[in-house]
Structure 1
Amino acid sequence: MRTIATFLCCLVFNHFFSQVSTEESKMRKILSLCKTEQELKIIFELKTDFPSVFSSVPTINPINPVNNPRISSSFSSKRIHPIYGNERAHNGIDITGALNTPVYATADGTVTNARFFNGNAGHSVTISHKFGFVTKYFHLSIFIVEPGEKVTKGQIIGYLGNSGSSTAPHLHYEMWKNGKVLNPFGLF
């Protein structure tokens, strides 16, 4: 069921983008213009109405595309790092799971980075998606994709691990849009 805000948002967008020929083209234009998390949350309510558009938008849980995630550490501007003990931003969410649980691409895209970082990230994958989205997956036990590889939403890209600066098996998941970090919780 759509909220009143979603309905009003759609009316406004339809008015401003009436020159765009198809509903799918309108939705693509709207997604490219979204600037805030709140705008994205409203638009994401429409994801079942535009499946071909939303295949390129990160809208599924990277650990289990069906079930709700178990979050062990939330997105925040400041937190005490569990290993280093200093205060720093936590630019993603930590999703717990059993070691070697499959990790899925949250949208169609192209792998831009797949490597081991000696510092915080450990084995990690970065994927670039349409509409300015980028997703990052850290602390994998292993990744099974390569830079330049095209991936599809729901494709296994690696397995949950404990590599890098990690206290227990989990996935650190980040979502960026147009160079700005977003809180991914609530967007899938």
Structure 2
Amino acid sequence: MSKVKYYYDSETLSYQKIERKKGRRLGIALLSLVAIFLAAFILLVVYLNLPQIQTPKEKALKRELTNMQLQYGMLNRKMDQIQDVLGNIEDRDNNIYRLYFESNPIPEEQRRAGFGGVNRYRNLEGYDNSKLIMETTQRMDILTKQIVVQSRSLDEIAELAKEKEQLLSAIPAIQPVRNENLKRIASGFGWRNDPFTKVKKFHYGMDFTAPRGTPVYATGDGRIERADNRATGYGNHIRLDHGYGYTSLYAHLYKYNVRVGQRVKRGDVIGFVGSTGRSEAPHLHYEIYKDGERINPINFYYGNLSPEEFDQVLQQAQQENQSLD
């Protein structure tokens, strides 16, 4: 209930009641309403144009968000550097290491393959920086996969290198009789006159003339497969299994220096020159087999002959003379 107000009338020397006019009341109400709207508009303009007032907690969260964005940016730059280094390793892996060890390069699509199927990053959606976080996480996952692929490739290369080393040690690569003990190369691989029938016959090895008892050396690492005289014409002979499809044979020996099943290294003395079996004079008949086929031994002396010595051996081996067995 509104209060009744009075005013003092000096003429009548009495208090008179103040009567409010209805139009004035309406004007005051309208004026008040306009003032309220004007004040609200001014406050809205101020709110939209001035920096938002933040609480200390909101300020701390904003700093953390800015720092996170900075950290993600640094992380992406580091991943760029890692990607460059990894790309260099992948290039060498495909074009040097795998090429040297005769292994197929890893396809680019296998190295760069992403992750198909379900959305792996659904739990990262719905945030202010979801795109940045999802892209960085995806890059990290792909980079991790590339590193795993490269790591497995290097493991494979290490195994290939180990096998390559074993292969190089196993392949017959030296002359079975040293030059200082060698009188001459009596016959090479090819058609030669048989010393007994005097007709041309294919000679499947090389004959090294040397005094009886001259050491005979294993031409590569391997296991003694045979050491007996139960093969026609070879007399006392040794078969050395090198693995990888290679076998070497040493025939007409005076005696053995090994036993069946024994493992030997290149350069070990395995027997001594003799003239047993179908032989005309003391010499070593030497053969090499690859996958069961006899091949020319002249191509396997790179391990202990100089170029000049090899040329001399090659000239002697090509002479179509008479063999000694």
Common topology (TM > 0.5): yes
Q: Give the deviation of 1:84 after TM superposition.
A: 3.0
Any conservation in 2 of the 1:117–1:164 contact (CA below 8 Å)?
no
Query: Which of 237, 246, 249 is equivalent to 1:133?
Result: 246
1:166 aligned to 2:279? yes
Q: Which structure has more helix as a fraction of its residues?
A: 2
Q: Which structure has more strand as a fraction of its residues?
A: 1
Correspondence list, 1:72-111, <5 A: 72-76=186-190, 78-111=191-224
Code of the aligned partner of 1:22: I
Code of the aligned partner of 1:63: V
Give, in whole Å, the separation in 1 of the partners of 2:101 and 2:172.
Answer: 27
1:141/1:67 CA distance change after superposition, 3 Å: closer
Q: Match for residue 58 of structure 1?
A: 172
Q: Match for residue 145 of structure 1?
A: 258
**Which protein is bigger by CA-based radius of gyration?**
2
Code of the aligned partner of 2:188: S
Question: Number of paired residues?
Answer: 157
Any conservation in 2 of the 1:104–1:156 contact (CA below 8 Å)?
yes
Give, in whole Å, the separation in 2 of the partners of 1:11 and 1:80.
Answer: 48
State the TM-score, normalizing by the size of structure 2: 0.43
1:59/1:110 CA distance change after superposition, 3 Å: same
Alignment deviations for residues 111-133 of structure 1 (CA, whole Å, 9 cap, x no partner):
11111147411110001012110
1:115 aligned to 2:250? no
Q: Which residues of structure 1 form unaligned runs of 5+?
A: 1-9, 30-49
Q: Give the deviation of 1:140 after TM superposition.
A: 0.5
Any conservation in 1 of the 2:101–2:160 contact (CA below 8 Å)?
no
Alignment deviations for residues 34-56 of structure 1 (CA, whole Å, 9 cap, x no partner):
xxxxxxxxxxxxxxxx5x54221
Structure 1 stretches of at least 4 aligned residues deviating more than 2 Å after TM superposition: 10-16, 18-24, 26-29, 65-70, 84-88
Q: Which residues of structure 2 form unaligned runs of 5+?
A: 1-95, 107-152, 302-325
1:181/1:24 CA distance change after superposition, 3 Å: farther
Give, in whole Å, the separation in 1 of the partners of 2:293 and 2:231.
Answer: 24
Q: Match for residue 44 of structure 1?
A: none
Greater relative contact order (Cα < 8 A, sep 6+): 1
